[in-house]
Amino acid sequence: MDQNKIINFARVLSRNTLIGKLKNLYVNQMRSSYRKNRGLFLGKDGVEIGGPSPIFTENGSIPTYNDANSIDNVNWSSDTFWSKHKNGGDFTIHEGKRLGKEWVIDSTEFTKDFHERYDFLQCSHVLEHIAGTVKALLSWRSVLKVNGTAIILVPDKRRTYDVDRPYTTLEHFIEDFNNNIGENDETHFEEIIKLHRLSVDTSDNINIKSSEDWRDRVLDNANSRIIHQHVFKMEVLSELLDLCGFKVIASERFVPHHIAIIASKTRNKPEILENSK
């Protein structure tokens, strides 16, 4: 069977609520790592960047929505391409379950009143949409209490429409930080337009119909933040987290298209701040 058909079939299976038993085949790898570290989330107060995300529900790989005491939600805009958000409103998921508060904030620049507020931070397929990766990780670190935990999921490019794009190097991430790259950065636009595998793109709520349509979406990224600014290799993301003041506890690749890392906040000043200009 053609690789693209396999990828799309896996996505269909993972979204079909009528085949829960088969779906478990896709989540058991990460569920094992999560269960070993469940105490870091059980009864704790957390924050989700982006979302809400199906992967954090009871039937997902990482059921923090059920385990946590509370979870606030942070999105960069009140009207993102995946959902709408009300600053100061209730953060609710399926069946109206209230988890915490919604905040419309640029998570790369958390204000001091959020510092060391949360026991854990979670995000699913958000970091790749951010141009200033190091700036974001340091900001996310700032909202965690001492020894707090971050669980971060990014796409495994081998099973997504980024399959033809090169991995972003550790050196590039560091250079972006030293150059204070902002969210208006267009460095990767032509690469993203040229190497986007349209035949593999089954994104929900986006409705990309042609390469011309995709180009228009990329060029309008300042208003949508729809593109993947970077492409992550699991080993490079682990190294980057280490430089940003985290210690990796667990890392997994699992189908249909996930890389997941659980990391704890260290007490030491992040090495990247020691070495920056």
What is the SS3 assignment for 32?
helix
Tokens (6 digits) for 165: 């794009």
Give the integer Cα–Cα distance in Å for 224 and 201.
17
In tens, the pLDDT along 17-50 reads 444 444 545 455 688 889 999 999 999 999 999 9
- The predicted model scores a pTM of 0.87
**Residue 151 phi, psi (nearest 5):** -125, 120
Backbone Cα Rg of the chain: 18
For residue range 124-137, what is the model confidence (pLDDT) as tens digits? 999 999 999 999 99
Q: Under 8 Å CB-to-CB from 165, ≥6 apart: which residues?
A: 157, 191, 192, 195, 228, 231
State the pLDDT confidence band at 205, using cuts at 50, 70 and 90: low
- What CA–CA distance (Å, rounded) separates 202 from 115? 37
The per-residue pLDDT for range 121-168, each reduced to its tens digit, is: 999 999 999 999 999 999 999 999 999 999 999 999 999 999 999 999
